[in-house]
Amino acid sequence: MQPTLSFEQAPPISVPYRFFLTAPMFGAVAGLILFWLGPAALESRWAPGALAMTHLIVVDFMLQAMCGSLLQFVAVVAGANIWRPRLVATVVHPLITAGAVFLATAFLLERQLLFLAAAFSFAVALGVFLTVMAVALLRTPARGMSIHVLRLAVFGLLVTVVLGVILASTLGMQDTLQSVWSLLTLINVHVAWGLGGWALMLVIGVSYLVVPMFQLTPAYPVWFTRLLPAGLLLVLCLWSLQLLPGLAGAQAWQSGVGIAGVLLAGFYAVTTLWLQARRRRRQADVTLIFWRGAMLALLALAVSWLVFEALPRLGNHERAPLWLGVLALPGVFLSVIIGMLYKIMPFLNWLHLQQQGGTAMPPPNMKQMIPEAAMRGQMRLHFAALLLLLAAVLWPAVARPAGLIFTASCLWLEWNLVGAARVYARFRDKIRAANAASSAAP
């Protein structure tokens, strides 16, 4: 039988919504940076513009949306008690936002003090978030692979944050602090845990539940659900061995570990696409198409990685990592996140309104919370932006239009999500007015 959702413990709707409504705005800012800097932002992965855009997307878009979703999801799926969710969100949300702005500005302006401010903000925000999340996930009575994988993802975020704070502190105190590791080694391990151990692990854990439930596919095979996260964790541990003294230069086995990692990711993408091809309902809603797009991008990433390994002249090109980065960030993760937001927000609207109005004042239909045409239009713009961003890696002259289209896609997403929040507020006010009128009646 499929796993089950529970809603006894759902936190107040303002907790996830503040994260959801902030996330797309910083995607828009990242697009504007690309528009402003043009081809210079895509010279290499070390270009200040590329680093600033990357962190605005991974922290202020992805991490915001993922933290907001996880606060909701852990309560709902694991039935776990989140300690004072409103307080946690009040501390974590502004600090993550500020931390990413400090970090992006630090990269753009090369200001050491801003790196330190970012390190401090992230250490506090994610220290609180990880503690609360770890306690909730360890104490939940719920069982199942989804929960185990969520625990692994939270551990992945912990490693990413620790390495990220070390990196930002090292950049902020270059004159006084000498890291025992080379920056490149630290960055290699930080990126692998951030994208593989946190973001992909979270997508995997969530997909075990939502792909069969929302997309009416068969369940993932049990052996697969166990093997995949264990394999990914093993790959990440082996990859992290480069932090050990004397092993930093062992490129041959590092390359093998990298290949094993992308093969696992590609295997996951193919399995998900295969399950989606066997779905019981033929209609494809936007969430399904976003997931499909994400899995195709993940497959393209795995194939590109293998091609870069096979053809070192291509793989050593300065912009090769940018190609992989565009496939991973807007391609895989933003696609999944946007697709899920279009499912989560109408559902949370409906659920919270149902709780307030009961059967006497049933909430509007979930499909009316965000107009279908608006979601489809934004989805087309998102995938157009993705293709343009990939084109901009090949031909940097396209960078400015790519940045503008990406900004437009993020703003449209914001508009759609704000629209959903306004539907909630409008109907909630209606229920309150009706309750007030009935209690005032003699």
The candidate with the shortest Cα–Cα distance to 206, out of 148, 281, 271, 130, is 148
Nearest approach, Cβ of residue 220 and other proteins (Å) = 15
Does position 216 bind other proteins by CB under 8 A? yes
The candidate with the shortest Cα–Cα distance to 290, out of 174, 401, 380, is 380
Q: Binding mask 28-67 vs other proteins (x if CB under 8 A, - otherwise)?
A: ----------------------------------------
Does position 281 bind other proteins by CB under 8 A? yes
Piece in contact with other proteins (CB under 8 A), picked from 6-14, 17-25, 51-59, 428-436: 6-14
Q: Binding mask 396-415 vs other proteins (x if CB under 8 A, - otherwise)?
A: --------------------
Please, is 442 exposed, middle or buried when counting C-beta atoms within 10 Å of its C-beta (0-12, 13-18, 19+)? exposed
Nearer to other proteins, 215 or 240 (CB): 215
d(CA 139, CA 153): 16
Does position 214 bind other proteins by CB under 8 A? yes
Nearest approach, Cβ of residue 31 and other proteins (Å) = 32
For the beta carbon of residue 365, count every other beta carbon within 10 angstroms: 9
198 CA to centre of own chain? 9
Does position 359 bind other proteins by CB under 8 A? yes
Element containing residue 154 per DSSP (H, E)? helix 145-172
Does position 2 bind other proteins by CB under 8 A? yes
Task: Measure Cα distances from 239 to 55, 146, 332 in Å.
Answer: 22, 24, 22
Nearest approach, Cβ of residue 214 and other proteins (Å) = 6
Choose which of 1, 310, 373, 441 interacts with other proteins (CB under 8 A): 1
Window 168 to 207, contacts with other proteins (CB under 8 A): none
Does position 354 bind other proteins by CB under 8 A? yes
Nearest approach, Cβ of residue 347 and other proteins (Å) = 6
Q: Binding mask 107-136 vs other proteins (x if CB under 8 A, - otherwise)?
A: ------------------------------
For the beta carbon of residue 72, count every other beta carbon within 10 angstroms: 25
DSSP 242: G
Determine contact, residues 29/101, Cβ cutoff 8 Å: no
Nearest approach, Cβ of residue 422 and other proteins (Å) = 20
CA atoms within 13 A on the CB side of 361: 15
DSSP 250: -
Choose which of 124, 263, 285, 304 interacts with other proteins (CB under 8 A): 285
Nearest approach, Cβ of residue 365 and other proteins (Å) = 7
Does position 339 bind other proteins by CB under 8 A? no
For the beta carbon of residue 137, count every other beta carbon within 10 angstroms: 21
Nearer to other proteins, 8 or 175 (CB): 8
Nearer to other proteins, 9 or 170 (CB): 9
The candidate with the shortest Cα–Cα distance to 63, out of 121, 113, 5, is 121
**Alpha-helix residue ranges (DSSP H) falling in 247-398:** 251-277, 286-310, 312-315, 320-326, 335-357, 372-394
Does position 267 bind other proteins by CB under 8 A? no
Does position 368 bind other proteins by CB under 8 A? no
Does position 11 bind other proteins by CB under 8 A? no
Q: How many residues does the chain have?
A: 442
Q: Which two tokens stand for residue 391?
A: 């084109």
Does position 358 bind other proteins by CB under 8 A? yes
3-class state of residue 141 by DSSP: coil
Choose which of 366, 384, 404, 418 interacts with other proteins (CB under 8 A): 366
Does position 162 bind other proteins by CB under 8 A? no
d(CA 383, CA 33): 19
Nearest approach, Cβ of residue 435 and other proteins (Å) = 15
Does position 220 bind other proteins by CB under 8 A? no
Nearer to other proteins, 45 or 343 (CB): 343
The candidate with the shortest Cα–Cα distance to 268, out of 247, 299, 303, 308, is 299
Nearer to other proteins, 252 or 277 (CB): 277
Does position 360 bind other proteins by CB under 8 A? yes
Q: What is the DSSP string of 307-348?
A: HHHH-HHHHTSTTHHHHHHHIIIIIIIIHHHHHHHHHHHHHH
169 CA to centre of own chain? 24
Q: Outline where DSSP puts E strands in 33-186.
A: none
Piece in contact with other proteins (CB under 8 A), picked from 44-52, 199-207, 356-364, 425-433: 356-364
- Contact residues toward other proteins (CB under 8 A) are 1-8, 213-216, 280-281, 285, 347, 350-351, 354-355, 358-360, 362, 365-366
